[in-house]
Amino acid sequence: MSYDVIMPALGMAQETGRVVAWLRTVGEPITEGDPLFEVETDKAVMEVPAPAAGFLSAVTVDADEEAAVGAVIARIVETVDEVEHAARLADADAQSQAPAPDPIPASRDAEPDPSLSTPDSKSEIEAETPTEPWTTPDTQTPVAGARVLASPKARRLAHDRGLDLAMLRAQGVPEPIHAEDLEKAVTGQMSVLSARADATALDALLANAAPDTDQARLFAAFAAGAWRSVFAAEEPAILIRWPDGATDQIGRDQAVCVLVDLTSTHLTGYTPGTGGTTMTVARDGAALVLKLTCNEATLPFAAAVAFLDEMVARLEDPVRQLM
């Protein structure tokens, strides 16, 4: 039978105590209530009485050392034979009883509060966690590779649309970049990507569809699905443009892509001189011909390839749209 001697809590908010001196030596007989050791808190030095009679044993915290409140710092054993002079035996105990460090700061660093972020922008948030205090625009010279200054909204929209803010800065868009700047920023040479899709599955689908099914809207829905799967954006908006010039939009936010349905005409493609990302769909016998025009500053090459490729996959196998 043995009794634990623990570091007492002498103040309400006390977390640790320092042993000033042991008043008994290991192996010495003790009566309950005898002054056993002195402890120093943030305010005072106090004598702590022995919690039981017996022999002092297994002292793990020497004079001038600190221990967490509640930690076992020694034992009182019943017989002199049980006395342990190897004082460090109870080290593990002391550590296991030490109060856990406040978990909040650590978890905050590791994981942003989900209530503050949209699910799809999580990776971006982690990437943009600033490592140093925010500096104001006027004190920071733009440096390639340095963090681009942009409003939180512009940053979120850029992420949703797969835009690279550093490319916008390289194009001369002044910092901080605002949401409005994303619309203005599309300049420079346009790249054109082409693809061909087998239309068998799509034609079968259209043959069974309601007579008033609008093919252009169907293409737009496929394009939105393809965009969503490439960029993990929530509800990408697509602007539809018909050959007669009429337009409409699916989705609410600023459109990420213009879709032009040329299947009712003899045209095989259309490349806009300026403007944003445009996809044309034209008919070539049993196949569909697709063209994607984009500025690589705003829709990088790899993303454009993935987007067009996913669109073709959906046209060839419309079931993908449901997955």
Partner 1 sequence: MTREIALSRAINEAMHEEMHRDPTVIVMGEDVAETGHPFKFFDGLSNEFGTQRVIDTPISEPGFTGLAVGAAMTGMRPVVDLMFGDFIYLVMDQLCNQAAKTHFMSGGKLKVPLTINTNLGATRRSAAQHSQSIHTLLAHIPGLKVVLPSSAYEAKGLMKTAIRDDNPVVVFHDKLMYSEKGPVPEDDYLIPFGQANVLREGKDITFVGTSSMVSVCMEAAQRLETNGISAEVIDPRTLVPLDESTIVGSVKKTSRAIVVDEGHRNFGVTAEIASRIAEKAFYHLDAPVGRLGAMDVPVPFSPALEDLTVPTTEQVCDLAAKLCRKEVSGVV
Contacts with partner 1, residue ranges (CB under 8 A): 115-118, 121, 151-156, 178-180
CA 195 – CA 309 distance, rounded (Å): 8
Nearer to partner 1 by C-beta: 151 or 187?
A: 151
CA 66/CA 131 separation, integer angstroms = 34
* Burial of residue 116 (number of CB atoms within 10 Å: 0-12, 13-18, 19+): exposed
- Residue 136: CB minimum distance to partner 1, A: 10
Q: How far is the CB of 113 from partner 1 (least distance, A)?
A: 9
The nearest distance, CB 300 to partner 1, in angstroms, is: 22
Q: What angle do CA 318, 319, 323 make, to 5 degrees?
A: 125
- Closest CB to partner 1 among residues 25, 115: 115
What's the CA angle centered on 109, arms 103 and 111, to 5 degrees?
A: 90
Cα separation, 240 vs 232, in Å, equals 21
Least CB distance to partner 1 at residue 152 (A): 5
Q: Considering the complex, state which of residue 154 and residue 199 has its C-beta at the smaller distance from partner 1.
A: 154
Region of 15 on the Ramachandran plot (φ > 0 left; ψ -120 to 50 alpha; else beta): alpha
Is 157:182 a contact under the CB 8 Å cutoff? yes
Residue among 19 and 158 whose Cβ is closer to partner 1: 158
Shortest spacing between CB 131 and partner 1, in angstroms = 18
Strand partners of residue 16? 68
Q: What share of the chain is helix, strand, coil (3-state, %, to 5)?
A: 35, 25, 40
Contact 36, 56 (CB under 8 A): yes
Q: Specify the residue, 108 or 153, whose C-beta has the smaller distance to partner 1.
A: 153
Residues facing residue 89 across a β-bridge: none
Shorter beta-carbon distance to partner 1: residue 69 or 177: 177
Q: Least separation, in Å, of the C-beta of 153 and partner 1? A: 4
Q: Kindly tell me the burial class for residue 260, based on how many C-beta atoms sit within 10 Å of its own C-beta (0-12, 13-18, 19 or more).
A: buried
DSSP annotation of 148 reads P
Nearer to partner 1, 168 or 260 (CB): 168
Q: Residue 156 Cβ, how far from partner 1 at the closest point, in Å?
A: 5
